[in-house]
Structure 1
Amino acid sequence: MTAAERITLWLAQLRASGRAVLLARLVIAVAGTVALVVPALQSWDQMDLIPLLGVPMLLATVVLPDSLAGLVFLLIVTFGWLMRAPGKPTWGLAITAIALLLVHLATAFTAQLPSYARIHRDAVRRWLLPGAIATLLVPVVAIAAALVQGADIPGSLLVTVGALLLATATIWFAAGQKLTRD
């Protein structure tokens, strides 16, 4: 199959796709752009390599959400933040974390479906509640971690880990998952 035939096939599948798939890919594109732009606007100097690697990986994630490009994109943005960012939690970190979370959730949702899939609203609703809970919990956990970090409380790592485990359990049960062995 030639490149032109592949592009024609992909465009035909894109025209046949439903709104939910297109919306999820739009969320990937917008949240990924925010995850690239917010660290670039911070006062510290970000490595020039991050946008050069991040933009192609973001485009590949939008086009092929079931590929490894999404994971590589998340690792690139995280690596860029860890290499040059200050050690304390900031609003830029919280916004970048929320954007990366949205990229992850939208990619996980879209990767399950072929590009031409038409899905029912119930499938989107099933992802909406856990996604909203996770998006709202990120700043809460970041603020709680910042408060505990500055308090010099013995066992503050246990408090942070406990909060993350509680948040994970909340998202797990909100998604309708069961604790059964199959």
Structure 2
Amino acid sequence: MSGAEKLTQWLSQAQSTGTATWLARSAIALAGVVAVVLPGWQTWDQLDAVPIVGSLLLVACVLLPDSLAALVFILVVCFGWLMRAPNELSWSLVVTGIALLVVHLASAFAAQIPSYAVVDRQALRRWLLPATVALLLGPVVALAAAVVRGAGVRGSLLVTVGALAAATAVVWFASGQPLGDRED
């Protein structure tokens, strides 16, 4: 297949892309831009490679959501934050964490379907409830972990792990997934 034929095929697939696919990829792009730009605006000195590598990985995330690009993007942004950022809880940290969570969830949704597939809005609605629950629980669990960590309570690691396990269970049940593989 020649380059012109590949380009024609790719353009025809892009034209037939459904609303759910465009929304998922737009969410990846928007949240990824927030996750790359917001740490760059902070007063601490960020590694110069993080925005460059992050931007390239973000393009790969949008074009190939079923690849490892989203995982590497999240790791690069987290690595850049951990290398130079102060170790205190701030609004920029919470917003960056939420943006990375959106990149993760939208990439997981977009990776399930080919880019040219037309998906009913019902599939998007089924994904939206667990994603919203995860987005709301993420900052709550992070804030609770910061409060417990700052209080010097014995067993704070156990409390943090328990809160994350409870949040995971809430997202699991919100998604409507069955507990077993049995067909009744």
TM-score, normalising length: structure 1 = 0.96
Q: How much does 1:4 deviate?
A: 3.7
Counterpart CA distance in 2 for 1:8 and 1:168 is 43
Percent identity among equivalent residues? 59
Which residue of 1 is the match for residue 142 of structure 2? 142
Which residue of 1 is the match for residue 35 of structure 2? 35
**Secondary structure, aligned partner of 2:104:** helix
Q: How much does 1:3 deviate?
A: 3.7
**Secondary structure, aligned partner of 2:115:** coil
Q: Count residues with an aligned counterpart.
A: 182
Which residue of 2 is the match for residue 94 of structure 1? 94
Q: Which amino acid in structure 2 is aligned with residue 125 of structure 1? A: R
Which residue of 1 is the match for residue 170 of structure 2? 170
**Is 2:133 the counterpart of 1:133?**
yes
Q: How much does 1:72 deviate?
A: 1.2
Which residue of 2 is the match for residue 118 of structure 1? 118
Counterpart CA distance in 1 for 2:51 and 2:112 is 27
What value does the CA root-mean-square deviation take over the aligned residues?
1.2
**Any unmatched runs of 5+ in structure 1?**
none
Q: How much does 1:11 deviate?
A: 1.7
Bigger mean CA offset, 3-12 vs 54-63 = 3-12
**Any unmatched runs of 5+ in structure 2?**
none
Q: Which amino acid in structure 2 is aligned with residue 175 of structure 1? A: S
Which residue of 2 is the match for residue 18 of structure 1? 18
Deviation digits for residues 84-105 of structure 1 (CA, Å, limit 9, x no counterpart):
1111222111111100000011
TM-score, normalising length: structure 2 = 0.95
Deviation digits for residues 126-154 of structure 1 (CA, Å, limit 9, x no counterpart):
10000000001111112111211111111
